[in-house]
Amino acid sequence: MKDTQDISRLLRERGARVTPARLRVLALLRSAERGLSHHDIEKALDDGTPVDRVTLYRVLDWLVEQGLAHKVADEQRVFRFSAASTGGEPHQAHAHFVCDDCGKVFCLEDTPRAAPRLPAGFASTQVEFEVHGHCAACNVPVEARR
């Protein structure tokens, strides 16, 4: 697929080696419409050549370091990763929707602004906006809700 070329270039631009693990993980993150846990990713890449657990962790952290992905801890205190908006620089004020039923994280486009006033001596570097609730898949009118 053409996206692979795209990704290779992105990696190479950073003076980094283009490895299958990096390509596959980033491609997956980019095609995912929501934040994926380490486990999700491991499962998704299990076809054919599985990726080692540790390698996966390292690739993910590397992607975050490079500003190609970002990382949030969900309610179950599990990290979820998503691709950063194409550019590369770590994305600034971003809004997330966290489903309290399935724990999945979605990125909301429509992002708000302005940090609230901070106490003296505090400095802000990033503002995160998290909306909790039920995602479309879990928002069905059923009583089977945990």
Site of interaction with a second copy (CB under 8 A): 73-79, 95, 97, 100, 106, 108, 110-112, 114-137, 139
What tokens were used for 62? Answer: 């590397």
Angle between helices 20-31 and 2-13 (to 10 degrees): 120
In angstroms, what is the minimal distance from the CB of 131 to a second copy? 5
In angstroms, what is the minimal distance from the CB of 144 to a second copy? 16
The interface with DNA within residues 27-46 (CB under 7 A) comprises 37-39
131 lines the binding site for DNA (CB under 7 A): no
> Given the complex with a second copy, which of 48 and 119 has the nearer CB atom?
119
> Given the complex with a second copy, which of 11 and 41 has the nearer CB atom?
41
In angstroms, what is the minimal distance from the CB of 17 to a second copy? 27
Upper half-sphere CA count for residue 13 (Cβ side, 13 Å): 12
The three-state secondary structure class of 23 is helix
CA-to-CA distance for 27 and 35, rounded, in angstroms? 13
Phi, psi for residue 36 in degrees, rounded to 5: -115, 140
